[in-house]
Chains A and B, each alone.
Chain A
Amino acid sequence: MDVIAVNGTQYQVDTSGGRPLLWVLRDQLHLTGTKYGCGLALCGACTVHVDGQPTRSCVFPASAAVGHQITTIEGIGQTTVGQKVQQAWAQQNVPQCGYCQSGQVMAAAALLSNNPQPSDTDIDNAMAGNICRCGTYVRIRQAIHSIAGN
């Protein structure tokens, strides 16, 4: 058993067998906001922050999370930026099916934390790894701009 820190809480978890962080969060901690979409870091639905950096938890070994601060969608609302992103998402009617939005919110929160006034190109670069099959991209862009005050 290993100990990992998720949203400021220490958890004893089983990281054996190369288990990706995603499946520790979901199957062991039942933190279900972080989603499985592809398992190959192609879609971004599983995005969490590892020490503030957006990370695809579906390919990130849980054992590598030991000693780092993990933030998930369940914790990001505790930060000012995360709260603003979640509010903008609801106000702009961004989500449709909503399944990818945890990852989108985590990617957007990481972007805005590092770059409070992102350009369209900055947004494209930061969000390119997050697929939305419902096609909410236009609204995601609007919502990010609305937070930046652009």
Chain B
Amino acid sequence: MADQSGLTRRSFLQVSATAGGGLLAAWYLPLLSPPAQAAAAAQQQAFQPNAFVRITADNWTTVIVAPAELGQGTMTAPPMLVAEELDADWNLVRFEQAPPTLPYSNPRIVTQLTAGSFVIVSRYQQQREAGAAVRDMLVQAAARQWNVSPATLQTRNSTVIDPVSGRSATYGSLAAAAAVLPPLLPKLKDPKDFTIIGQPKARLDGAQKANGSTQYGIDVYLPGMLTALIARPPRFGGRVVSYDASAAMALPGVVEVHQIPGGVAVVGTDFWAAKQGRAALKVKWDLSTAENITSADLYTSYGKLMAFPGTVRRYDGDVALARATAAQSLQADYSFPYLAHAPMEPLNVVIDYSPGNCEIWCGTQWPDADRLAASTVLGVPADLIKFHTMLSGGGFGRRGSVDNDFILDAAHVAKAVRGKVKVMWTREDDITGGHYRPAAVCRLTATLDQAGKLSSFTGRVAAQSVAYGALPELAVKVLGIDIRATEGLENMPYAVPNVEVDVHTVTNQVKVLWMRSVANSFNIFALETFVDELAQAAGQDPYQFRRGLLRNNARLLGVLDAAAQAAGWTTPPAAGVSRGIAALAGYGSYIAQVVEASVSGGQLGVLRGVSAVDCGIAVNPDLVKAQIESGIVFGLSSALMGAITLQDGVVQQSNFHDYPVLRMHQAPQTETVIVNSGESPGGVGELGVPCVAPALANALYGLTGKRVRSLPMSNQSLSLS
């Protein structure tokens, strides 16, 4: 079994040791944050041999989940990994969100960032080992009680069984005895023996999310808590010169106004008071050095860069030679707008900065970084801040802010208020607040030789970097989060002998951030629509053309074939309907998607989205399907209607009326086929996003005879019916 966590089995034991409980709990507990300590104290009867598993006398197993839940099923899949190796009764498994402490760091990047589709990739081995170690201790405890060899005992449904004598004992009854035993290095199951992994288990948080009882960050109410909204500059880079709070303070419920580095905070007794107060606030802004870009000009300036070489990311063979001997040359330029993540729960942070206490509640993808950022403002050491990572109402990258913007703003407000305050973002604050998917321009070129074979490929991208600029370059490299603007092109999967990919990293003051599928969200659109143009130039079917270029990529070929088969690619579609196909290898997984669409009088109908996915072992196939369904809707929202534009530096959109996203009647029928390669798990959170738009554009070509070279499609007189 490949070690997907990046930890050796030896290093797991070391982590276990520093994180270990029972007798080991003595070492473990000091690492817990104060609120978790309180929880642990309340659970004195509990057996918590490592950071991830707690078994109580009532025979329930609590899995302490380190990554953040943003909708992707984090509170279900990692507990399944633990329960599998523990042989826990799945009906007696519950979840708890971990605090932002070291044992819960992502083992690959040593910080608790939830991003990059890597929850399962990075935790698959670790969580199974955590479960197996605890099972082993429970078996040893039973063996001692019964005076038999541990090797003769079996485990099933949170029970240790002695098949010889017929005796059995629940894990809960063995917990106290097991707690004093040392964890050994247990053997993990052969995947053929899995009974939980691979099953379409219902989400552990499904019922609570259907009855409204889930508490998100925005739902935290503390006695005496105030609510703050921040007036921010109308253009990125603006600064407060002065403000007049008299009209705001005259309104009922407005209690304080404070200038902070990011703007001016209006503090009220509730949201409505703060909102009225902010509307009445008068701020004089210094915009002399603020961003003044206009989107159309941005595309022009990026487009000019396409004529010049950028920083080389990939250089194979000799493109110039291939060009000199080519039978055909193709070139296409693509442009992509800024996009807002627009998670349904607007950003919010609750801070209790009362004398003698410092406590934060926040739905975030990066709790340890956010806590550290808050500590620098509040002057409280990070490990003395009680930080509650809340379930998030969506994230898509926005809640993993590289400049910690929302937590820093909130910390400044709390420092001024010196009490309990909820710092809220309205939807307008969210849409205009930057941290966008970068705008980009791509130029792709390719040549076909005399035989119609693809002989060279080049890709050039101009975009802002989501990581550089916000973080020191060294940190970006150490953390492994250098999400490159050429992602998707530099690692493009097609067999071509001569390849060049380069990038122009552009800077301006519009804040950018990773958004679900990051640069794949634009580069795969360009690549996969361009490949269709190449297929046409070569006189080949787009599916067969891709097959010919993927002979050495069995897994991508596998999903391509599976998607074509499931969609009935070789059977002509109904009259007026067209199909398009696209494929992607990414996140340790493989996907191909076929989209069926129709156009009638400028009205576009996206009818059907068929996906074939090879994500290795699908820990929970239903959650995998849910993520692909989600990715399709997300990708279509961006491609069809998503655009943040600027005019003289001012963002032109503000809410869902002018930044629309897909609605129910616009969502296609979806079918997802899981191709089980039996390989180690890959990621799926972003996997469904990049291909759906190029597959749709390729389908549209069959209807309109026009290639889509800029997004969103709503700019090309195609609106969704």
In Å, the complex CA distance between A16 and B270 comes to 12
In Å, the complex CA distance between A25 and B212 comes to 13
A8 interface hit (Cβ, 8 Å): no
CB-contacts of B298-338 with A (<8 A): none
User: Taking A32-B215, A38-B655, A43-B344 as contacts, is the C-beta distance between A96 and B72 under 8 angstroms?
Assistant: yes
Decide if A98 touches B214 in the complex (CB within 8 Å): yes
A33 interface hit (Cβ, 8 Å): yes
Decide if B252 touches A16 in the complex (CB within 8 Å): yes
11 new A-B contacts, CB < 8 A, other than A40-B655, A99-B344, A136-B626, are: A30-B221, A90-B203, A93-B622, A93-B623, A96-B71, A97-B71, A97-B392, A97-B395, A98-B209, A125-B665, A130-B664
* Interchain nearest-CB distance for A103 vs B (Å): 9
Task: Name the one of A27, A89, A100 contacting B272, with C-beta atoms under 8 angstroms.
Answer: A27
Q: Name 13 A/B residue pairs within 8 A (Cβ), A-sorted.
A: A30-B221, A38-B656, A39-B427, A72-B212, A73-B212, A74-B211, A74-B212, A100-B393, A128-B665, A130-B663, A132-B664, A133-B343, A138-B669
Query: For residue A83, which residue of chain B has the nearest CB?
Result: B211
In Å, the complex CA distance between A35 and B206 comes to 17
A20, A133, A140 — most chain B CB neighbours (10 Å): A133
Decide if B210 touches A38 in the complex (CB within 8 Å): no
User: Taking A28-B270, A36-B218, A39-B426 as contacts, is the C-beta distance between A90 and B207 under 8 angstroms?
Assistant: yes
CB-contacts of A95-150 with B (<8 A): 95-102, 105, 123-125, 127-128, 130-141
Q: Which 6 A/B pairs are nearest by Cβ-Cβ distance?
A: A33-B212, A135-B633, A99-B393, A98-B209, A97-B71, A73-B212
A63 interface hit (Cβ, 8 Å): no
B396: chain A residues within 8 A (beta carbon): 133
In Å, the complex CA distance between A102 and B378 comes to 35
* Interchain nearest-CB distance for A30 vs B (Å): 5
Query: For residue A106, which residue of chain B has the nearest CB?
Result: B212
B394 interface hit (Cβ, 8 Å): yes
In Å, the complex CA distance between A76 and B391 comes to 23
Decide if A131 touches B661 in the complex (CB within 8 Å): yes
A52 interface hit (Cβ, 8 Å): no
Q: How many residues of B contact A (CB 8 A)?
A: 67
Decide if B655 touches A32 in the complex (CB within 8 Å): no
Decide if B271 touches A94 in the complex (CB within 8 Å): no
A125: chain B residues within 8 A (beta carbon): 665
In Å, the complex CA distance between A96 and B427 comes to 20
In Å, the complex CA distance between A74 and B271 comes to 21
B446 interface hit (Cβ, 8 Å): no
Interface string of B380-403 (1 = CB under 8 A from A): 000000000001111110000000
In Å, the complex CA distance between A50 and B262 comes to 40
In Å, the complex CA distance between A77 and B216 comes to 20
B136 interface hit (Cβ, 8 Å): no
CB-contacts of B621-677 with A (<8 A): 622-623, 626, 629-634, 637, 655-657, 661-665, 667, 669-670
Decide if A35 touches B345 in the complex (CB within 8 Å): yes
B3 interface hit (Cβ, 8 Å): no
In Å, the complex CA distance between A87 and B662 comes to 26
B250 interface hit (Cβ, 8 Å): no
B345: chain A residues within 8 A (beta carbon): 35, 37, 97, 99
User: Taking A98-B393, A132-B344 as contacts, is the C-beta distance between A90 and B206 under 8 angstroms?
Assistant: yes
In Å, the complex CA distance between A125 and B665 comes to 8
A42 interface hit (Cβ, 8 Å): yes
A57 interface hit (Cβ, 8 Å): no
Decide if B344 touches A42 in the complex (CB within 8 Å): no
In Å, the complex CA distance between A84 and B428 comes to 35
A45 interface hit (Cβ, 8 Å): yes
Task: Name the one of A74, A95, A99, A105 contacting B203, with C-beta atoms under 8 angstroms.
Answer: A95
In Å, the complex CA distance between A119 and B669 comes to 15
A133: chain B residues within 8 A (beta carbon): 342-344, 394, 396, 634, 637, 661
B629: chain A residues within 8 A (beta carbon): 135-136, 138-139
A9 interface hit (Cβ, 8 Å): no
B505 interface hit (Cβ, 8 Å): no
Decide if A89 touches B210 in the complex (CB within 8 Å): yes
Decide if B667 touches A135 in the complex (CB within 8 Å): yes
In Å, the complex CA distance between A101 and B665 comes to 17
In Å, the complex CA distance between A103 and B572 comes to 40
* Interchain nearest-CB distance for B278 vs A (Å): 13
Interface string of B246-287 (1 = CB under 8 A from A): 000001110000000000000000111100100000000000
In Å, the complex CA distance between A95 and B631 comes to 14
Decide if A94 touches B344 in the complex (CB within 8 Å): no
Decide if B667 touches A97 in the complex (CB within 8 Å): no
A91 interface hit (Cβ, 8 Å): yes
B367 interface hit (Cβ, 8 Å): no
A86 interface hit (Cβ, 8 Å): yes
Decide if B206 touches A45 in the complex (CB within 8 Å): no
User: Taking A86-B207, A98-B214 as contacts, is the C-beta distance between A124 and B665 under 8 angstroms?
Assistant: yes
In Å, the complex CA distance between A90 and B213 comes to 13
Decide if A95 touches B344 in the complex (CB within 8 Å): no
A101: chain B residues within 8 A (beta carbon): 209-210, 212
Query: For residue B73, which residue of chain A has the nearest CB?
Result: A96
B202 interface hit (Cβ, 8 Å): yes
